[in-house]
Amino acid sequence: MPDLRIRQISLVHEPSKVVYFLWHSKSWSAPHMVSGFKHTRYYKRGNFKSEPMQEHEVEFKYRERSATFNHTKDFIDKIDYGTKHIHPSSRFLKIAVAPLYLSIDNRYFSYNDAGRLISDSRSGYPISFLDGIAYIHVVGRFVVKYYFNGVITICYDINNCLEKPHINDIDIKILNVAMLRQYLDRTIMQYIFQFYSNISFRGPILINIIIDNAQNILLGQTNLQDIPEDKILKDYIYQQDIYEFSEIFPMNDVLMNLNDVISRLLLRLTYGLGGYNFTKF
């Protein structure tokens, strides 16, 4: 269930008895087929009981689920990560996290309660925009944007994670994966963790990661001798301007197994930047 709430009410005239109110929100991945009572059917909520759905209603629900998933991808493609608020940098790590099935009508918070989402011990300031609230780091290291519909984006300056090797005749940067893991663990994923905890979201999420200006980035190898002698260095350097990938996670993994989530993202990142070419990794 996406969100289950239980409230216990004591009875004034019957102290030994209580009444339980149970509520759960609409499923993010409806429809659901139910097997039981010697048949298999789809059900919908009625006024006082669950009622079987007609064929056209089931078809509509599947189309609606597909549409909300496509809406998630379309929304991420159009996001402004707020790079103008960061000091000039040649490399950006952009992370967008969204409910996997992003409904057009979803609204998880408002301006009135946005303060609890952006409270932070670091030096920074909030800025409101049409679709949510942004948190700007005071020295321009990163920008966090919280959208009313449950999307959070983080744009991070990763220049500190890039090292220049001692090679004079080639322009490359080495990605320090260990340092990037620290940023993910201590800062980036903490914002994501706190945001979804505060809005009580429990559905599956899509994490989309982009490295801007990824050309000439080498996997995080501090020792270039790991490259076999019969190989050419440029074969191990990422050649495209943008590197992008997406992963899907259950929210419970983010809330309870954050280290596993970070490890999975780093594997996708490093292998995508050429890590599969190395004999030592």
Quick: pLDDT tens for 210-226: 988 877 777 555 455 55
Rounded CA-CA distance 204/71 in Å is 15
Looking at per-residue pLDDT, the higher value among 71 and 165 belongs to 71
Mean pLDDT of 226-238: 58
- Confidence tier at 57 by pLDDT (50, 70, 90): confident
- Confidence tier at 236 by pLDDT (50, 70, 90): low
Cα–Cα distances in Å, from 127 out to 119, 124, 152, 153? 13, 10, 14, 14
Rounded CA-CA distance 24/2 in Å is 7
Residue 143: both structure tokens together = 């920008």
What is the per-residue pLDDT for 145?
95
Query: Of the given ranges (92-96, 106-110, 274-278), which has the lowest mean pLDDT?
Result: 274-278
* Domain assignments of the chain as residue spans, ordered by start: 4-72, 79-277
Mean pLDDT of 234-259: 81
Could you give the count of Cα atoms lying within 13 Å of 224 in the half-sphere of its Cβ?
17
The answer, yes or no, to whether residue 154 has pLDDT greater than 90, is: yes
Contacts by 32-41, CB closer than 8 A, 24 or more apart: none
User: Hey, is 145 helix, strand or coil?
Assistant: strand
Across the chain, mean pLDDT equals: 81
- Confidence tier at 281 by pLDDT (50, 70, 90): very low
The answer, yes or no, to whether residue 95 has pLDDT greater than 90, is: yes
Looking at per-residue pLDDT, the higher value among 238 and 32 belongs to 32
What is the per-residue pLDDT for 144?
94
CB atoms within 10 A of CB 185: 13
Rounded CA-CA distance 84/81 in Å is 9
Rounded CA-CA distance 51/29 in Å is 18
What is the per-residue pLDDT for 151?
95
Rounded CA-CA distance 53/41 in Å is 8
Mean pLDDT of 80-103: 86
Mean pLDDT of 93-121: 83
Residue 229: both structure tokens together = 């002698």
Buried b (16+ CB within 10 A) or exposed e, 74-108: ebbeebebbeebbeebebbbbbbbbbbbbbeebeb
Are 161 and 180 a contacting pair, CB within 8 Å?
yes
The C-alpha angle 148, 152, 154, rounded to 5 degrees, equals: 140
Query: Of the given ranges (140-144, 194-198, 236-240), which has the lowest mean pLDDT?
Result: 236-240
Mean pLDDT of 164-173: 68
The answer, yes or no, to whether residue 175 has pLDDT greater than 70, is: yes
- Confidence tier at 168 by pLDDT (50, 70, 90): low
Rounded CA-CA distance 211/209 in Å is 7
Are 98 and 104 a contacting pair, CB within 8 Å?
no
The answer, yes or no, to whether residue 138 has pLDDT greater than 70, is: yes
Beta strand 217-218 with 173-175: parallel, antiparallel or unpaired? Answer: parallel
Residue 216: both structure tokens together = 């000439």
Mean pLDDT of 223-238: 58
Residues 6 or more apart whose Cβ sits within 8 Å of residue 216: 171, 172, 173, 237, 238, 239
The answer, yes or no, to whether residue 275 has pLDDT greater than 70, is: no
Beta strand 142-147 with 152-157: parallel, antiparallel or unpaired? Answer: antiparallel
Looking at per-residue pLDDT, the higher value among 187 and 272 belongs to 187
